[in-house]
């Protein structure tokens, strides 16, 4: 494969941002070369070719990568119906994460049973509606595990407040 590079704009002409969006060198509206983004000019490249989705904001850090891998593992191991709905575009990634989080403490059979109770309408529900529906499904499938989760959340709930130098109060909590 050959490396892609941005053409140098001729004097008096400016290459459009659309033309340069897949290239390693970026130019501003005036045609001036912009500084390289975090990671250098070759960030997001494999063998000299830009990876799909490796644009601005793709370098979100190890925490985001870990979250993505956790979701992928849960979809593969415990939630095949959610995986299929996500793949087919019936639900969004955010809705899939709602189901994954709600069924995290369930075993694979219980997770599949809970997802079956909500998947038929998951695409039509709002994220908040889905969150409530999957919570009810988890309670129906594994009431004892749902009770333990609620009790643990109540023990861990906290809100902290402190005074800032400006005189304002600043709250923090889960």
User: Which tens digit of pLDDT belongs to each residue from 45-73?
Assistant: 444 444 445 544 455 677 888 888 888 99
Residues composing the chain: 174
CA atoms within 13 A on the CB side of 19: 12
Paired with 162 in beta bridges are 170
> Largest Cα–Cα distance in the chain?
72
pLDDT of residue 26: 56
List the domain boundaries for the chain.
Answer: 79-152
CA atoms within 13 A on the CB side of 60: 10
Other Cβ atoms within 10 Å of 24 Cβ, number: 20
pLDDT tier for residue 75 given thresholds of 50, 70 and 90: very high
């Amino acid at each position: 494969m050959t490396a892609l590079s941005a053409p140098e704009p001729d004097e008096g002409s400016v290459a459009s941002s659309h033309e340069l969006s897949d290239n390693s060198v970026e130019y501003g509206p005036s045609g001036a070369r912009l500084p390289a983004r975090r990671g250098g000019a070759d960030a997001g490249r494999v063998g000299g070719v830009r990876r799909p989705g490796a644009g601005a904001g793709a370098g979100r850090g190890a925490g985001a990568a870990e979250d993505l891998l956790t979701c992928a593992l849960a979809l593969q191991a415990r939630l095949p119906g959610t995986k299929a709905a996500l793949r087919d575009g019936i639900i969004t990634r955010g809705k899939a994460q709602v189901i994954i989080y709600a069924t995290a403490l369930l075993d694979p059979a219980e997770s599949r049973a809970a997802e079956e109770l909500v998947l038929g309408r998951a695409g039509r529900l709002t994220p908040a509606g889905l969150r409530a529906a999957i919570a009810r499904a988890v309670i129906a499938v594994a009431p004892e595990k749902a009770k333990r989760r609620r009790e643990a959340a109540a023990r861990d709930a906290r809100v902290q407040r402190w005074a800032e130098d400006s005189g304002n109060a600043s709250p923090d909590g889960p």
